[in-house]
Amino acid sequence: MYMRYALLKSPYKVLIKHEKVPSPAENQIRIKGAFCGICGTDRIMAKNGVKRWTRFGHEVSGTIDEVGRNVEGFKLGQKVSIKPGAPCGSCSFCAGGLLRKCSNIVVAEGGFSEYLVVDPRSVAVAGEEADLKSLSLAEPLNVAIDVLQTAQVRKGDSIILFGPGLIGLLALYISKSRGAKPLALVGRNFYKHVEVHQRSLDVHFVKYNPDTTFFKSQKNLALAAYLQDIPSARTVSRLVVIHTAPPRFIAGYASFLPYETTIVNIGLASEPKLVKMRLDMRELMYRRISLLSSFAVPSLFFGEAIEYLSNGLINSEFFIDKVVNLEQLQEEIRPLKSGRKNLKVVVALDGARKI
Ligand SMILES: [Zn+2]
Ligand SMILES: [Zn+2]
């Protein structure tokens, strides 16, 4: 039996190859891939991150296809999501309950593949009723939950999302279910898919201009005015800004935020000038503004993520707006001049074939 899998090389080159379906070792599990989401970090990697042909893809769902002889507690046919970085469970940090500090993270990569052999610790099992397409959202959901956990978002908080992509929107829906109040989406373009969520969440949309001089350019005055007039600035609630855009823009708006705002960054960019920033710490200090970093490695919230996907709080039909096949991956990974018109593209993995 042969399978197809994808290799990536910068800039933006994808190769589909064939090889024999691998057999799991006695302490491994083989997964028959169902769906693998294309992530923003895949696109950043594709731009200038990989010099040699590399397997990629880390938002995988599938079913258990073969279980190694020494593996216990898993059954053939179980629906699963794969954790790209699982805590090892046995290092001194894991043993002490400090899973975030795990010094021996179990990595599972190469999700754009019809079959995948993984360590059992990478496997998060879902119920029979779970939908395989939805389960490919478990990884981005895990990231969104990590953002909320990092900022300790709670009932009564007000939230602004800077950069209305998948992760931030997922975080807003979850935070709303926890009693927080989303106020606004701040984005470069008011795409149709952004409008859908703006209406559904009943929040404002505020446009920003990605000029690197930001507020000095006079192009972002509407955003400055909005931030200075946020309802929460006049109430007792805490404001949390979830930042998923290039980090550089934080320096542009930090001085307009209300007292005791918490900013939590999960934004990245491939250009150094969009990642580095100059920040006058007095602007943060005198108004007690916190700047936090979220980074969901190792993956700690897959259980919760699968629960949200199973109980209907997160309906994948509302987020996954394009499904392509492995051959279309090359085209999908490329940047578009006009910006991305889809919120989430997933690749359907077809399963093995005889060639
Ligand atoms: Zn991802
Ligand atoms: Zn560990």
Q: Is 183 helix (H, G, I), strand (E, B) or coil?
A: strand
- Per-residue pLDDT reduced to its tens digit, 209-255: 887 677 666 778 888 888 888 865 556 689 999 999 999 999 989 98
How large is the average pLDDT for residues 305-319?
94
Would you state the pLDDT for residue 318? 94
Residues 6+ apart with CB under 8 A from 264: 147, 150, 151, 240, 241, 242, 243, 292, 293, 294
pLDDT at 270: 81
pLDDT digits (tens, 9 = 90+) for 16-73: 999 999 999 999 999 999 999 999 889 989 998 899 999 999 999 999 999 999 999 9
Distance 120 CA to ligand 2 centre (A): 14
b/e code 74-84 from CB counts within 10 Å (16+ = b): eeeebbbbbbb
Q: Quote the pLDDT of residue 102.
A: 97
Residue 233 pLDDT: 55
pTM reported for the whole predicted model: 0.94
Cα–ligand 1 centroid distance for 327 (angstroms)? 20
Q: What is the pLDDT of residue 255?
A: 87
Whole-number Å distance, alpha carbon 51 to ligand 1 midpoint, is: 20
**Strand, helix or coil for residue 241:** strand
pLDDT score of 151: 97
How buried is 41 (Cβ within 10 angstroms: 0-12 exposed, 13-18 middle, 19+ buried)?
Answer: middle
Q: What is the DSSP string of 295-331?
A: ---S---HHHHHHHHHTTSS-GGGT--EEEEGGGHHH
How large is the average pLDDT for residues 6-19? 96
pLDDT at 210: 82
Residue 354 pLDDT level (bands cut at 50, 70, 90): very low
Ligand closest to Cα of 146 equals 1
Q: How much distance in Å is there from the Cα of 140 to the middle of ligand 1? A: 5
pLDDT at 112 over 80: yes
Sequence letter at residue 55: R
Are the beta carbons of 187 and 194 closer than 8 angstroms? yes
Averaged pLDDT for residues 114-119 = 97
Task: Taking residues 247-265, report their average pLDDT.
Answer: 92
Of all ligands present, the nearest one to the C-alpha of 143 is 1
Distance CA 347, CA 94 (A): 34
Residues lining ion ligand 2 (Cβ < 5 A) are 87-88, 91, 94, 102, 104
Measured in degrees and rounded to the nearest 5, phi and psi for residue 70 equal -95, 10
Distances (CA, A) of 105 to 84, 89, 239, 300, 310: 9, 9, 34, 12, 27
Q: Looking at residues 126-135, what average pLDDT do you find?
A: 95
- C-alpha–C-alpha distance, residues 100 and 14, integer Å: 33
The whole-chain average pLDDT of the chain stands at 92
Give the number of whichever ligand sits closest to the CA of residue 89.
2
Locate 210 and state its tokens. Answer: 């990605």
What mean pLDDT do residues 138-164 have? Answer: 97
Residue 100 CA, ligand 2 centroid: distance in Å:
8
> What is the C-alpha to C-alpha distance for residues 60 and 31, in angstroms, rounded to an integer?
10
Res. 335 pLDDT band, cuts 50 70 90: confident
User: Can you give the pLDDT at residue 231?
Assistant: 66
Domains and CATH numbers, the chain: 2-136+320-348 (3.90.180.10), 144-293 (3.40.50.720)
**Strand 239-243 with 158-162, pairing:** parallel
